Amino acid sequence: MSTTATLDQGVAPPGGRVVSFRRRLRAGDEVAYLITLIAAGTIFLITALVFYEVFSQSALSRHKFGWSFLITSVWDPVAGTFGALPFIYGTVVTSILGLLVAVPEGIGSAIFLSEMAPPRLSNACTFLIELLAAVPSVIYGLLGIFILVPILERHVVPPLKSAFGWLPIFQGPFYGVSLFSAGIVLSIMIVPFIVSVSREVLLAVPRDQREASLALGASQWQTTWRVVVPNASSGIVGSIFLALARALGETMAVTMVIGNTPQIKASLLAPGDSIASVIANQFTEATGDLYLSALIELGLVLFGVTFVLNGLARILIIATSRKGAHS
């Protein structure tokens, strides 16, 4: 009750509001409001705190290199020259490659599981998919390097090279570890997020909508594609953002298959490096203030990259959904 009293003083209420506040308190509304507010506030606070720490601790590197940090390609801890460009490139390319593979795959299987598969099969598959999401990323990395990379080397890259070898992105020698391998491993890792969330939102589309569409003479596929999917689109988009965020920040699995070579090559078959992976690789042994500061600034850059990519994805989606509405 003492909390009530202090809270009441805070808002300096007339008698009537006290009664209503007490009633709301008893009914649980006010308690729920406060608890959820604290929960939401904590997340905001943590994000702000992390941003602040990363920003302030990277001061040394920010002052020394300025904006050129973002466009320099040399990462030389011995000479004390640090540039983030190859890491930004690797992070963006592998994440986009992962999304390119995972989005059609994930949405396709979510549509199948929610709209077409028999419920029993759907539930069994969903269970398996959620299991996939719980596999630690180091396991994906190991599977990647010992199983996926040899498969890519023997059965995927040779035909790709012979069919699309004229494209610069499929030229040059393939050592197994590469941006391409990292993108494929990422796509496997993020598919469960897309499938699991998309299936739930597809299932949540009201039955009336489907029935109305079918009653108007639409086929099942027309109903699914023109009625159910647009209805669930915001949830599906949400699942893609979640997947993108995971892909951008993935460390362990990426570092094991990306080759850890900070360079920018047009070919996807060349090794590269990513922001999260270089931080994990070098942070523990980093000596010297500037070196540490540069690594922390990479964290800040990852914040920025996530922000920009999320923003671009959002704009892309708004643009395409507007077009859809007009047609």
Partner 1 sequence: MKMLACLKEPRGRIATAVAVAAMLAACPLHAQTSLTGAGATFPYPMYSKWFNQYHKAHPDVEINYQSIGSGGGIRQVTEGTVDFGASDGPMNDKQIAEFKQKRGCDILHFPTVLGADVPTYNVPGISADLNFTPEALAGIFLGRITKWNDPEIQKANPSVKLPNNDLIVVHRSEASGTTYVWVDYLSKVSPEWKQKVGVGTAVNWPVGLGGKGNEGVSGQIKQTPYSIGYVELVYAIQNHLQYGQVRNQSGSFVKAGLASVTAAAAGAAENMPDDFRVSITNAPGRAAYPIASFTWLLIPSKIQDATKRKALVDFLRWMLTSGQNDTAALSYAQLPKQVVAKEQKAILKIQ
Q: Which residues bind partner 1 (CB under 8 A)?
A: 40, 43, 46-47, 49-50, 53-54, 74-79, 145-146, 149-150, 173, 175-177, 234, 238-239, 241-242, 245-246, 248-251, 255-256, 259-261, 271, 273, 276-277, 280-282, 284-287, 299, 302-303, 306
Taking the least distance from each CB to partner 1, the nearer of 39 and 215 is: 39
Query: Using an 8 Å Cβ cutoff, are 319 and 90 in contact?
Result: no
Taking the least distance from each CB to partner 1, the nearer of 49 and 59 is: 49
Query: Using an 8 Å Cβ cutoff, are 222 and 155 in contact?
Result: no
Q: Which of 48, 199, 35 is nearest to 126 (CA)?
A: 199
Q: Which of 239, 236, 254 is nearest to 193 (CA)?
A: 239
- Least distance to partner 1 from the beta carbon of 246, Å? 5
Dist CA 98 CA 195 (whole Å): 14
Residue 243, H or E segment: helix 229-249
Taking the least distance from each CB to partner 1, the nearer of 76 and 211 is: 76
DSSP state of 283: T
Taking the least distance from each CB to partner 1, the nearer of 229 and 302 is: 302
- Least distance to partner 1 from the beta carbon of 145, Å? 6
Residue 82, H or E segment: strand 81-82
Query: Using an 8 Å Cβ cutoff, are 73 and 262 in contact?
Result: yes
Torsion on CA atoms 124, 125, 127, 128, rounded to nearest 10: 120
- Least distance to partner 1 from the beta carbon of 306, Å? 6
Q: Which of 106, 319, 326 is nearest to 202 (CA)?
A: 106
Size of the chain, expressed as the number of residues it contains: 327
DSSP state of 208: H
* CA angle at 201 for the pair 196 and 207, rounded to the nearest 5°: 130
For residue 98, the tally of other CB atoms under 10 A from its CB is: 27
Largest CA distance in the chain: 82
- Least distance to partner 1 from the beta carbon of 200, Å? 12
Phi-psi region of 227 (alpha: psi -120 to 50; beta: other; left: phi over 0): alpha
